[in-house]
């Protein structure tokens, strides 16, 4: 079964503002690394250009009034309601082509989801997707349209069971909002605690309501958490729940901003921990829709996505330029060469505090969520 990469060079060339930390060019750097480390012309690999989403699908999650504001903003019109909707801020600036960009990204996610639901692919990766902060009536966290919610909602109404696993360093609050009261979607978000990081939500006590009670799972980590603590909590909670739930498709938001060199967060994961987590998610998934999400060290993000692709397709990267004089260099000198990091282990009292918090969260979830699932 084929592995599909969804990519458009035009979308990767978009820019919010020159100084904005969200850089779609990360995806272009990732494609360059794929050419370096993989034979992307292998017959098991397909690259598809995303098509803009049918606008009617937006209303599977978003309110029409909000979408109308987005269209007005793109045309250069102003309405006081835009401020309340999070538009025109430093975080979510108004720029030419913003609505069309968001529509194309959402179209790519939906396109990938349909390929998986129809059995035409086993794994799909869209590095530009995974805009998990956008709310029903507002932009947030660099996200204008929640492509994740729309694609999942469409599959759910078609009878599919969906597990959503979010390893972005920021809590997937927009996805939690959409599915907080349903048992048709298993939502799991692993992230830096809202006590120290945007959006300030995603505590372990947020476990869903009504039919959704026990189907919303949050694992907030203390700032400073390293590979060892993160992987231990992941293994304790995620595999048992995902295995028991029996999803038809797993959506995985694999943001690379958990990395220790990311400038917008405070976790200490390395390439080793990141690849292990993506590999485990892939093993748990009958079919997987992987989405790029966050990552604000653009070179490190591209490298981590390359390792993620390796995990998804089950093939180790092979540097075709090794040993060549004047061979290809990549990024700043500190990031040139290997995709992998040197090992990093947190030590001392900070390590103890990180382990204690993760342990408390795991025990809480085992006492409150696991019994709902008969675990």
- Spatial separation of the C-alpha atoms in residues 214 and 375, rounded to whole Å: 12
Q: Which candidate, 212, 162, 163, 165, places its Cα nearest to that of 191?
A: 165
3-state SS assignment for residue 183: coil
Distance (Å, rounded) from C-alpha 62 to C-alpha 77?
Answer: 20
Q: Give the C-alpha separation, 365 to 350, whole Å.
A: 23
Q: How far apart are CA 127 and CA 181, in angstroms?
A: 29
Which string of b and e fits 131-152 if b means at least 16 CB within 10 Å? Answer: bbbbbeebbbbbbbbbbbbbbb
CA 319 to chain centroid:
26
User: Which residue's structure tokens are 């892939």?
Assistant: 282
Residue of 62, 110, 132, 133 marked catalytic: 133
- The SS3 of residue 17 is coil
The span from the CA of 288 to the CA of 262, in Å, is 26
Verify whether residue 266 is a known catalytic residue.
Answer: no
Catalytic amino acids? 133
């Amino acid at each position: 079964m084929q592995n599909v990469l969804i990519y458009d060079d035009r979308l990767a060339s978009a820019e919010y503002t020159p100084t904005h930390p969200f850089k779609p060019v990360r995806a272009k750097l990732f494609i360059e690394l794929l050419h370096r480390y993989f034979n992307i012309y292998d017959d098991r690999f397909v690259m598809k250009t995303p098509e803009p989403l049918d606008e009617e699908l937006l209303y599977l999650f978003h309110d029409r009034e909000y979408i109308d504001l987005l269209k007005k903003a793109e045309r250069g019109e102003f309405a006081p309601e835009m401020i309340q909707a999070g538009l025109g801020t430093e975080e979510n600036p108004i720029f030419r082509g913003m609505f069309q960009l968001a529509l194309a990204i959402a179209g790519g996610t939906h396109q990938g989801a349909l390929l998986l639901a129809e059995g035409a692919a086993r794994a799909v990766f869209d590095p530009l997707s995974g805009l998990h902060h956008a709310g029903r009536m507002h932009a947030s966290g660099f996200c204008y349209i929640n492509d994740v919610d729309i694609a999942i909602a469409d599959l759910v109404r078609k009878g599919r069971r969906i597990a959503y696993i979010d390893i972005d360093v920021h809590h997937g609050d927009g996805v939690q909002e959409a599915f907080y009261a349903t048992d048709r979607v298993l939502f799991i978000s692993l992230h830096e605690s809202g006590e120290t990081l945007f959006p300030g939500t995603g505590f372990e006590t947020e476990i869903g309501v009504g039919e959704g009670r026990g189907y919303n799972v949050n694992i907030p980590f203390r700032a400073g958490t390293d590979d060892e603590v993160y992987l231990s909590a992941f293994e304790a909670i995620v595999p048992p729940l995902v295995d028991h739930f029996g999803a038809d498709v797993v959506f995985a938001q694999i943001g690379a901003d958990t990395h220790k060199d990311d400038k917008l967060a405070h976790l200490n994961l390395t390439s080793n921990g990141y690849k292990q987590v993506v590999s485990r998610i892939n093993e748990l998934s009958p079919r997987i829709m992987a989405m790029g999400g966050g990552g604000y060290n653009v070179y490190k993000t591209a490298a981590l996505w390359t390792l993620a692709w390796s995990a998804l397709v089950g093939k180790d990267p092979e540097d075709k330029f090794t040993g060549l004089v004047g061979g290809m260099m990549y990024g700043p000198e500190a990031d040139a060469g290997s995709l992998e990091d040197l090992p990093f282990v947190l030590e001392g009292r900070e390590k103890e505090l990180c382990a204690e918090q993760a342990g408390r969260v795991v025990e809480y979830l085992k006492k409150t969520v696991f019994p709902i699932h008969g675990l």
